[in-house]
Structures are given as structure tokens and as C-alpha cells.
A and B are shown apart, each in its own frame.
Chain A
Amino acid sequence: MTEAVDFNVARWLEAQQEAVLDAWMSDIVSRWKKNYLHVVDTEHLHLQSRQLLEEIRKLFVENPNEFWEPTPDSKIVVLIRSLSTQRAKQGFKPADSTFYVLSLKRVLWRRLLQDRIAENKVALATCLAMIENVIDRLTLLIYEVYVETRERLIAQQSLSLLELSTPVVRLWDRVLMVPLIGVMDTQRARQTTERLLEAIAKYEATVAILDVTGVPVLDTSVAGHIMKTIAAAQMLGARVVMTGISPDGAQTLVKLGVDFSVVTTRATLRAGVAESLLLVGKRIVAVKDAP
């Protein structure tokens, strides 16, 4: 009896290692086969998993009686972090990513129940609880890393979108054009204004076309941002010509009571370009003798 209570999970795991690894890997492969095996290198997976199993064994050696608490720089945490980050980037669903350690739990439980130790209820319960504790911690960690990775991805994407969608184009000497595309929130509005002002100073521009064709709705906050941009541009000596207000947009602005009367507006970008060139004393003319 006492001998069985002294049953050592770490030693048991060491003896079972190869068998556990085999059962675990075949479970994983059968679940991942359909969606992920083209992104997972099975050889690498084996190597990683063997390493993880070894780290779990060491945990049991180091914490034979008490429950393990993950510390951020422990080897096993680093290992789990790196492989779940990788999987989140590869497009694994969170359930499939956590399946990795849940499958290990299943394999370990099954083997323990078949073992001689299963006859001793106290020893068995202790072993199961220890395994469960470790796997639960790892599962939570995988979830956490998954969410972190996706959030970082989203943040990066919105940053790239921000850069993408606020170009300031030099149309002609002293004429700039800013096509506003997409949602104009405070951050984007501020960035657009900054870029426009920089460009006005750099090119000594006197006219800037602000094209709002790509803005989904012209509400008061967008209108407010545009007004501020215009006021700032004027302080640097540049006139702003606004183009691309749709008929619906124009009616809505009137309903909102936004006063754009101080702003030069043109219905189309074409008219805006003509107007802007005129303001710098240029004109587009047809070439004589052209076909």
C-alpha cells in the first residue's frame, strides 16, 4: 500500500515516454490532418513534443508534492509560448491549438488507468490531479498566447491601414491632393492633417484638394476634422478645395447644419483639379493637332 502511494509520476512518465509520445502524436495527426498538416512539419512536431514531455517530467521531479505554478521565464512556459504563437500565426483555431495539450492529458489518463497504480485509489487520484494541474495551466497559457498574438496582428494591420490610406499626392507645382478613404476617426484625421501640413511646407503648396469620395458618411465629427484641417492649411497659406461630396452627402450635411460655406467645394475631382490649377494660374488645354 505505502509503496503505491510513493508512486512517482516522474519516474512513471520516463518509463512510458516513447509509448505516450506515439499515442499522443497519432491522436494529434488524426485531428490536424485535414486542416493543418500542410503547415506542420511532423518531424519538427515530434521533436517539439518530446521536448515538452521531457519538461513536464522535470516539473514532476521538481514539484513532487505541490502544485506547479507557471513562472514567465521557465523553460516550459517559453516552449509553449513559442509554439502557440507560431500556431496562432499559422491560422490554427484556438480549439485546435489547445487540443495539442488536451490530447496529451487524454493519453496520460488512459495509460494511468491501465497501469497497476489504478488499483490504489489515493495514488491514482494524486497522479491524475498533478497531471490535470499542469495541463490546465498549459491550456490557459495557450489561450492567452493565442489572444495576444491575434491582437498584435490586428493592431499591426490597423497601423498598416492607417499608413496606407492617408497619402498626400503632389499633383502639380504647388498643388497637392489628399484622397480620404475609409473611416475618418480622430487618429486618422490627426495623421492626415499632419501629413498635409508637412507636404504644404515641403512643396510650398498653395492649393490642396481634399477628396472625400471614399468617406462612407460625412457626419459631424468627420466634418469637424475637415474644418480643422482646412483651418490649419490656411494658416500655412494654402487654400483647400473639397471634392467628391455625393448628392446624399450634401443633403445630409445640410440637414446636420454643418456650415461649409467658407470652403471651396466642387462636386467632382475633375472640377476640383481644374479649379486648383486655375488658382495657381494653370489650365489644362487640348493639344493642337492631336488625333
Chain B
Amino acid sequence: MLESVRVSISEEIHSAEARRQALLLAQHLGFGRTDAYYLATAVTELATNLFRHAGGGEIQLRTLTRQNAVGIEVIAHDTGPGIANVEQALREGFSTSGGLGCGLPGVRRLMDELEICSEMGRGTRIRACKWAAIIQTVERQC
């Protein structure tokens, strides 16, 4: 059961399409309502960041299977300016654009896994996973 969806983000409204696709996939995999809502919100956050901070990018959604668990992997990829300080970007209330600065820290709490790779001037790749049955939170940085 390997399904993959890509949504290209170049306008603000495209984040709604990414959200819809995430919800469809979550429903298809039998995610609970709250988990599906968390996932949808996280995808919206990542997509909005692509548009707002990187001038666009792509959201990729993939089904994950692990022993008895199913999950969804979200990859937000862009070739924008990169994040200068990932730790700072993950801090509550940090925003370079007058936003609330709640997006990335929120995604960390809404999802089960979060991994951010960013290189200045080259772009950012954020990978986040949500498992249908919650497994321990794993965090990594590279």
C-alpha cells in the first residue's frame, strides 16, 4: 500500500489543496478524526511556509507502513533561501515575517516525527510523519 501524492505550491491557495490531499489520505488509511485534523493542520503550516518564506515548493505525501502501524510522511521541499538557524525557527514565537511564529513549533507537536534539513541559499527539506497509532515522538536534526 504505497501511495504518493505531490502538490506543487506556488500560491497561497495551494495549501488548501495540500490539506485536502492529506485529509483524503488520512481518511483512506483510517486515521482518527483528531489525528487527521492534526495532520491536515501541519500540512497547511508547511505549505504556507513554502509559499511565504521560500517562494514556493512542493509537498509530498506518502503512506508509511511499519509492522502493525500505518502512517503518513509529509515532505515539504523548496529551493528557497534556507533557514539560518533551525533551532531558532523551532522556537515558539520566532518569525521573520511578522507571523505568530507558531507554525514550526506547532508542526513539531502535531506530528510524531520531525526532521529539518536546511542549507542557506540552497533550500529546505522538512520531513514529518504521523502514525495512526501514536508511537513515541522522535526528533532529529541534520
A191 within 8 A of B: no
Q: Within the complex, what minimum Cβ distance (angstroms) separates A223 from chain B?
A: 6
Question: What is the bound-complex CA distance between A40 and B44, given in angstroms?
Answer: 45
| B16: Cβ under 8 A from any A Cβ | yes
Contact with A along B58-101 (1 / 0, CB 8 A): 00000000000000000000000000000000001000000110
* B105 interfacial by beta-carbon distance below 8 Å: yes
Whether A183 sits at the interface, judged by CB under 8 Å, is yes
Question: Is A218 an interface residue when CB atoms closer than 8 A count as contact?
Answer: yes
Is B7 in contact with chain A by the CB < 8 A criterion?
no
- B102 at the binding interface (Cβ < 8 Å): yes
Distance to closest chain B CB from A225 (angstroms): 10
Task: Please give the distance in Å from B93's CB to the nearest CB on chain A.
Answer: 8
On whether the beta carbons of B100 and A218 are closer than 8 Å, the reply is no
A221 cross-chain contacts in B, Cβ below 8 A: 44, 48, 99, 103
B6 at the interface (CB under 8 A from A): no
Q: Given B12, B19, B41, B105, which contacts A257 in the complex, CB threshold below 8 Å?
A: B105
Whole-angstrom distance between the Cβ of A230 and the nearest chain B Cβ: 13
Q: Within the complex, which residue of B16, B99, B110 is in contact with A224, where a contact is CB–CB below 8 Å?
A: B99
Contact (Cβ within 8 A) A224 B100: yes
* Total contacting residues, chain A, CB less than 8 A: 21
B119 at the interface (CB under 8 A from A): no
In angstroms, Cα B41 to Cα A128, docked, is 59
Which residues of B lie under 8 Å from residue A271 when comparing CB positions?
A: none
Contact in complex: A220, B45 (CB < 8 Å): yes
In contact, A255 and B99 (Cβ under 8 angstroms): no
Q: Is the CB of B102 within 8 A of A258?
A: yes
Which of B44, B45, B105, B110 has the largest number of chain A CB atoms within 10 A? B44
Bound-state CA distance A217–B92 (Å) is 20
In the bound complex, CA of A85 to CA of B100 (Å): 45
- A183-B16, A257-B92 are known contacts. Are A218 and B41 too (CB-CB below 8 A)? yes
Q: Cα distance A221–B38 when bound, in Å?
A: 15
Asked if B122 is at the interface of the complex by the 8 Å CB criterion, the answer is no
B40 within 8 A of A: yes
Contact with A along B13-52 (1 / 0, CB 8 A): 1001001000000000000011001101100110010000
User: B110, A256: Cβ atoms under 8 Å?
Assistant: yes
A220 to B52 alpha-carbon distance, docked (Å): 13
Chain A contacts to B: CB under 8 angstroms: 183, 185-186, 216-221, 223-224, 227, 247-249, 251-252, 255-258
Write 14 A-B pairs (CB below 8 A) sorted by A numbering: A183-B13, A185-B12, A216-B16, A217-B41, A219-B103, A220-B45, A220-B99, A220-B103, A221-B99, A223-B100, A224-B99, A251-B34, A251-B38, A255-B109
Residues of B with Cβ closer than 8 Å to A? 12-13, 16, 19, 33-34, 37-38, 40-41, 44-45, 48, 92, 99-100, 102-103, 105-106, 109-110
